[in-house]
Amino acid sequence: KQEVTQIPAALSVPEGENLVLNCSFTDSAIYNLQWFRQDPGKGLTSLLLIQSSQREQTSGRLNASLDKSSGRSTLYIAASQPGDSATYLCAVRGNQFYFGTGTSLTVIP
């Protein structure tokens, strides 16, 4: 069974700092990996999708990388802003989506 782990569980940084969120998974036989953002009491918003054949994807200040062989993905957030405060979830796609428990990010003004 696929296991997805996200470290750290919580992170607090001052505004403007660059940061990295980590996601690891146990089974490298995946179709893709998706990063989501979840605001309190809200649904999941898709940030980036990396197909298994890709190494990275970029959207604005966000960059996600994928190393399938080592079972790792990172989400890099540049020049963090208070509006980035949320929980970030990664999900790997096998026959279904398997989710990590998320990293709760707080960006302090």
CA distance 91 to 48: 11
Does position 26 bind other proteins by CB under 8 A? no
Q: Does 75 bind other proteins (CB under 8 A)?
A: no
Q: Is the peptide bond before 109 cis (omega within 30 degrees of 0)?
A: no
Scanning residues 81 to 100, which ones bind other proteins (CB under 8 A)?
Answer: 89, 91, 93, 96-97, 99-100
β-pairing, 44-51 vs 97-99, is unpaired
Q: Kindly tell me the number of DSSP H helices and DSSP E strands found in the chain.
A: 0, 11
- What is the bridge-based pairing of β-strands 4-7 and 56-59? unpaired
Position 64 contacts other proteins (CB under 8 A): no
What are 99's two structure tokens? Answer: 């989710």
Q: Does 51 bind other proteins (CB under 8 A)?
A: yes
CA gap 60, 67 in Å, rounded:
21
Q: Binding residue for other proteins (CB under 8 A) from 12, 18, 26, 46?
A: 46
Give whichever of 13 and 49 is closer to other proteins, judged by the CB atom. Answer: 49
By CB under 8 A, which span of 17-25, 37-45, 59-67, 77-85 interacts with other proteins? 37-45
Using CB under 8 A as the binding rule, whether residue 42 contacts other proteins is answered as: yes
Residue among 34 and 85 whose Cβ is closer to other proteins? 34
